[in-house]
Amino acid sequence: MRRVVALALLLLAAAAGGWWYATQRPLAVPVAVPANDVPVTVFGLGTVEARILSRVGFEVAGTLTEVLADHGDRIAAGEPLARLNTASQEARLARAEAAMLSAEAQAQRAEAQRERAEALLAQRQATARRRRELANRNVGSLEAAELAETEAAAAQADLAVNRADAAVARALQAEAQANLAAERTALAKHTLRAPYDAIVIARQREAGAAVNPGEAIFTLIAPDSLWALAFVDEGRAGDIALGQPATVTLRSRPGRPVRAEVVRIGLEADRVTEERRVHVRCLACPEMPVIGEQAEVIIETGRLARARLVPENAIHGFDGATGTVWVIEQGRLARRQVRFAARLMDGRAAITDGLPEELPVAIRVGPGFAEGRPARAVPAP
């Protein structure tokens, strides 16, 4: 009997010891250590793009005779890229030049006829005045005076006709000049030139091919217009502003980030992925970009002078701005509602105020956590 009682007491003592060890022993709780000058960053995944990208081609149809550039070439504004066969257009230009010469000759002839008509009118008007004066003095006949006046009136009408003919000739000359300018412009369009200083990133057609108006021959980009298009989670994009520093890491160059800055923030979010479009411009772009290459973008939205960083999985009811954390108060666990200044890219949230700095904040929550349980702070691993 004594043995049974002793065994029972031993079991009770073991159970009490186990209960105390599981529920009452002081827990070793890792706590947040204050950090200085904490950068607040957000992450976005996107691609390398060019703000100025042009698919250039001819404005007229024809057959390619020369293709003077290839992908990777750097070209200056106005430099020829390709040429079309110009034989038919040169013939049209020669015809327009001949028409221009003919119109100039017609205008000169009409002008000469106008000058002759003016001289003839002046001579007949003078004759009519003299004969009228003689008739008035009864020296000459009245019939001769009237005939001279009729001839002067006819000369006046002839002058009006010649002036109209000269005006028509000048109009035809202007039309011929316009046609000549149009044919010269059409001939110039048979040479494709670079619209700006550019890099050729694609060449779509080769010599001998027949091309249609507007068909792309080259794809060009302006080298100083490179940027990265990053898609950033809406929940973390609220503090992004123009001019903020950023880094861009290309997939082909891991571990070699490039400095950049935010230059455009999209005003329309993606309704499916709930992301915002943010463009960052590199400050030291790669020599030969690859449009469409995947890029990782990290944007620094601010810095915290001093903060305690708590993982989000150690925060209860976290809504992005507030939540409940475990603290050690007078040697026992307690829960405190706090407001967070920022969320970091690594999944931690920053506490900058609202809690005394000497009040430890748990960064890891265990199964034995309960309010009032004894606890002691240990350095975070």
Distance (Å, rounded) from C-alpha 302 to C-alpha 244? Answer: 8
- The DSSP-derived string for 27-63 is EEEEE---EEEEEEEEEEEEEEEESSEEEE--SS-EE
What does the pLDDT read at residue 357?
78
Which pLDDT band holds residue 278 (cuts at 50, 70, 90)? very high
Give the chain's count of helices (H) and strands (E).
Answer: 3, 20
pTM over 0.95: no
What's the confidence (pLDDT) of residue 129? 77
Nearest to 300 by CA among 259, 360, 251: 259
Q: How would residue 111 be classed by pLDDT, with cut points 50, 70 and 90? A: confident
Which of the residue ranges 128-132, 214-218, 346-350 would you say has the lowest mean pLDDT? 128-132
Amino acid at 325: V
Read off the pLDDT of each residue in 344-368 and give the average, rounded to a whole number. 83
Per-residue confidence (pLDDT) for residue 196, from 0 to 100: 93
Give the chain's end-to-end CA distance (angstroms, integer): 52
Residue with tokens 């706090």: 338
Greatest Cα-to-Cα distance within the chain, rounded to the nearest angstrom: 184
Whether 24-36+304-379 shares its CATH topology with 61-83+191-221 is answered: no
The residue extents of the domains of the chain are: 24-36+304-379, 42-51+222-300, 61-83+191-221, 86-189
Please say whether the structural domain 24-36+304-379 has been given the CATH code 2.40.420.20.
Answer: yes
φ, ψ of residue 270 to 5 degrees: the values are -75, 120
Contact 99, 176 (CB under 8 A): yes
Instruction: Return the CATH number of the domain spanning residue range 61-83+191-221.
Output: 2.40.50.100
So what's the pLDDT on residue 344? 87
DSSP 8-state secondary structure symbol assigned to residue 225? G
CATH of 42-51+222-300 among 3.60.21.10, 2.40.30.170, 2.70.98.90, 1.10.10.10: 2.40.30.170
